[in-house]
Amino acid sequence: MNKYCKIAAALLFVTGMYTLPTYAQAKKTAAKPAAKAAVKTAPKTVVDSVSYAVGMDVAKSLASSGVKIQSASFMKGLEDVLQSKTALFGEEEKMRIIKDAFNKAADLKMEALKKEENAFFATLKTKPNVKHLQDGLYYEVIAEGNGPKPTVDDEVNVHYKGTLANGKVFDSSYDRGTPLDLSLARVIRGWQLGIPLMSVGAKYRLYIPSDLGYGERGAGEIPPFSALVFDIELLGIKAKDATN
């Protein structure tokens, strides 16, 4: 389900089951002397608590989507439905407005992320120690090894740390204290290009553009269009099974 549909469903859930008289009363009591302004008023009923909690959840979802919301108009739409007043929009127009707004916000967010990624790689081009492959991978030799080099068909044993362009660590075998055995045929394209450059015993830093990583979807803590930076130590190449 698209994000705007989830928000719409959440709003329908609120409007179908809850009323706001207690919240409206609490809003009036908020305009008190400054000495008491910092004191939070606890919800008085279960319905009040659930209503406030659902409001928090909807607000967080809207904020993360990038869609701009005018709170007075938002509350007007909410109250018109709760009080069975004539709405300004029919169902089809309502869904079109919501869809257009969420699509536009998503496009703007993607443009900003892609611009940030391009700026990151533009800075790498000025660093003399950073090399560039035609496929788009950038890499830096931290230490060379003296063992054999793997192929993309091999299984290898590596220690690694993965960060976003801003330095945030999203994965690290060093933190787990255990190196990883992996098949190069099953990893992201950036690793398939970078690790075969390494000899056993080497340590490289790979700068991987999103189209060689997790692309426009991202993965877990990795946002869409994220440049990835991996420090990788190639510890060994696993022997292939000689049996037929």
Q: Which residues are catalytic?
A: 160, 170-171, 188, 214, 230
Report whether 109 contacts 66 (CB < 8 A). Answer: yes
Q: Can you tell me whether residue 183 is helix, strand or coil? A: strand
Q: Can you tell me whether residue 153 is helix, strand or coil? A: coil
CB atoms near residue 93 (< 10 Å): 11
User: For strand 180-183 and strand 169-172, is the pairing parallel, antiparallel, or unpaired?
Assistant: unpaired
Contacts of residues 73-78 at CB distance under 8 Å and 24 or more positions apart, as own/partner, are 78/11, 78/14, 78/15, 78/20
Distance CA 121, CA 131 (A): 12
Q: Can you tell me whether residue 73 is helix, strand or coil? A: helix
Q: How far is CA 173 from CA 158, 205, 233, in A?
A: 8, 15, 11
Q: 206, 167, 202: which is closest to 189 by C-alpha?
A: 206
Q: What sign does the dihedral 24-25-27-28 (CA atoms) show?
A: positive
| Contacts with 73 (C-beta within 8 Å, 6 or more apart), sequence order | none
